[in-house]
A and B are shown apart, each in its own frame.
Chain A
Amino acid sequence: MELALSDVRGHSLDLNGIGHAFGATVALDEINLTVAAGELIALLGPSGCGKTTMLQIIAGFLRPSKGEVRFDGARVEHIPANRRRIGMVFQNYALFPHLTVFENVAYGLRARKTAKPEVTAKVEQMLGLAQMAAFARRLPGELSGGQQQRVALARALAIDPGLVLLDEPFSALDKNLRLDMQIEIKSLLKTFGVTSIIVTHDQEEALSMADRIVVLNKGRIEQIDSPDALYDRPASLFISSFIGHTNLLRGTVTEADRVLLDAGPEIDLGRSAQRRRGTPVTISVRPENIAFGAERPGAIPVTIRATVPLGAVSVTEGVTTSGEAVKISQARAAGIAKAQVGEIAWLAISDTSRVSIFSTPVDDFSKHQQRSV
């Protein structure tokens, strides 16, 4: 057999210098990624960032223009998709509508010419794990979205894949069901110890599922990090506004560790800005890292525009004298005075060590500014 892949559950995956172009359009450029066996990785990025192309290259539906794909260290670019031992879960689940749940899950085993008793045993085991045993005789059209997804995952896992690829797996589900399914599927994947890659444009999905998140933008990897690190220490302005909510404030470096904000005050970063004096910069401050304070040097004056209660927290939005919108997120505890719309309030950054600082891009600052509003 041409396939020299080990039977140990969960391949390790290496992408070395992957590049891909569709005609003149570069979809992926210089992608380097190492995924350990059993790891759960999310490929996160806006639509058109190249994440689907990357998934198709890993699955074997697309041969990269350049670079290497390695499973457990062995190159696989020449191995077609139907011999890569990969489980795929598609956005619309892609269950075969004319086959029953049982036959769907059995499909991969039968394609591999597995003996009949083994097929039955394996399918029953998978349906049991996915809590779908009672639905074995149903057609996919008779199932709810969450049930279809369980079947899709059971079908993907039935072939004992070395790698499971999930393409926007939760986007077709109701918001209420989504978190439940994310937890359920994460635990199933972890039980199996299978290496998994989830492609998504939904940052919450990536944050809740993945051990590490790969952020893609315009065909390049912007950052690979754990969900917490990505949130606390974004490597770029793009990531700081793509992951979670943030406030972007323009300013200029005045001293090694101080930035004069366009919004008024000069703030002490408590560390080096690592930029020359006079450099225009953008600082990113998370809404929960800003609090209402007293009028004193370093406080940022804003005019309150709106207050929105969001269950556990309430979010207030103000506008600085320089016209930048700032969101302040507060735990909704008793005794906190509600800011009145139209009032002037003074804001203080709670922890300057959690402020990120970026050079202001010349061209797309206004775009980020619009996003944060």
Chain B
Amino acid sequence: MTPAGTSASRQLLPVVPLAALFLAAFVLPLAALVLVSLFRDPEFSGLSLVQYLRFLSDPFSLKVLSDTLWLGAEVALATLILAYPLALVYVASGQFVRTLITFLIMLPLLTSTVVRTFAWIVILGRDGIINSAMLSLGFWQAPARLLYSWEGMVLALTQIQLPLMALPVINSLLRLDSNLTRAAEGLGASRARIFFTVVLPLTLPGAIAGWLLVFAAAATAFITQTLVGGGRIILMPSYIYQQAVGVQDWPFSAALSLIFTLAVTGVVFAIGALSRRYLRGVDAA
């Protein structure tokens, strides 16, 4: 072995444990998943692409996938709309308010998703805080269906995933040169014009990073989707669970898993590529 080769392999030595873990816990199971998805039936008799064809020709399955991706997109958009005002307040504030906002953003991250989801059940439930308040104040005659609804699920996921959006948006707003907004103001631009022509385009990399994080997290949020969405709304994570554990159709659920993974990463890569193509002169976050 050449001296250069020796030093290169020495340099790689520290990553061996992580690489081994990655291989054992990710690459091998993924390979197993691919293999399982290629069996013709739950009895593992013979290889074929029939599971994939079954998915692509089944309107119900396709609807579940599109609903799931749409949920991720909707939640990501909602967090984006909420994160900008929060980030603008943060950037304009003094040290004390900044620390307070950071604490409030980080707090949900320090509690488990299960706890946060159950908190939403308490709030949205039939006898929950909102329903009992509205009923006792006489605004509503009967309890509204908040839990086990699409809107309730979007609401809960928006709150739960907000930190993933707020942090990158705040970060890119902090890096925005304040002279640029001053220059725009000096040139006669209104606040709204400054936001849409200078602040938003220049912080878009952070917003896109946040959007992709929230999209992927919300689309795959099995616990919150199941507990707040309930049994009526079937999305990819619960569909896979149902096919694997309930129906015991392992080849089909493996195919579902791979299709879902490809669809989510496909969206992430497509948006990443589009933003690199169209964001001129803007530093990538």
Contacts and interface: CB of A to CB of B under 8 A. Distances in A.
Interface of A: 59, 61, 80-88, 90-92, 94-99, 107-108, 111-112, 139-141, 155-156, 159
Given A81-B185, A108-B188, A96 B198 contact: yes
A96 B185 contact: no
Contact of B281 (A80, A87, A98): A98
A331 B183 CA distance: 46
Contact of B190 (A86, A108, A111, A155): A111
16 contacts: A59-B182, A61-B182, A81-B182, A82-B189, A82-B190, A88-B187, A96-B202, A97-B283, A98-B202, A98-B280, A107-B197, A108-B188, A111-B188, A139-B281, A156-B186, A159-B187
Interface string B264-283: 00000000000000011111
A99 B180 CA distance: 12
B187 A111 contact: yes
B281 A90 contact: no
A86 B279 CA distance: 30
Contacts of A140: 281
B130 interface: no
Contacts of A84: 186
Nearest to A89: B183
Interface of B: 177, 179-180, 182-190, 193, 197-198, 201-202, 279-283
Contacts of A81: 182, 185-186
- The B contact surface, by secondary structure, is helix
A82 B185 contact: yes
A59 B184 CA distance: 12
A141 B281 contact: yes
A84 B188 CA distance: 8
Contact of A83 (B183, B188, B198, B280): B188
A273 to B, nearest CB: 49
A61 B183 CA distance: 11
Contacts of B281: 97-99, 139-141
B184 A107 contact: yes
Contacts of B180: 94, 96
Nearest to A97: B281
Contact of A159 (B179, B188, B201): B188
Given A92-B177, A156-B186, 11 more contacts: A81-B182, A82-B189, A88-B183, A90-B183, A94-B182, A96-B183, A96-B184, A96-B202, A98-B279, A111-B187, A111-B190
5 smallest A-B Cβ distances: which pairs? A108-B187, A94-B179, A97-B281, A111-B189, A94-B183
A61 B179 CA distance: 11
A80 B193 CA distance: 15
Contact of B193 (A85, A91, A92, A111): A111
A97 B189 contact: no
Given A96-B198, A99-B281, A139-B281, A107 B189 contact: yes
Given A82-B189, A111-B190, A88 B182 contact: yes
A108 B261 CA distance: 47
A71 to B, nearest CB: 14
For A88, A90, A97, which residue has the most chain B Cβ atoms within 10 angstroms? A97
> Most chain-A CB neighbours within 10 Å: which of B183, B198, B283?
B183
A167 to B, nearest CB: 9
A336 B106 CA distance: 75
A111 B184 contact: yes
A155 B185 CA distance: 13
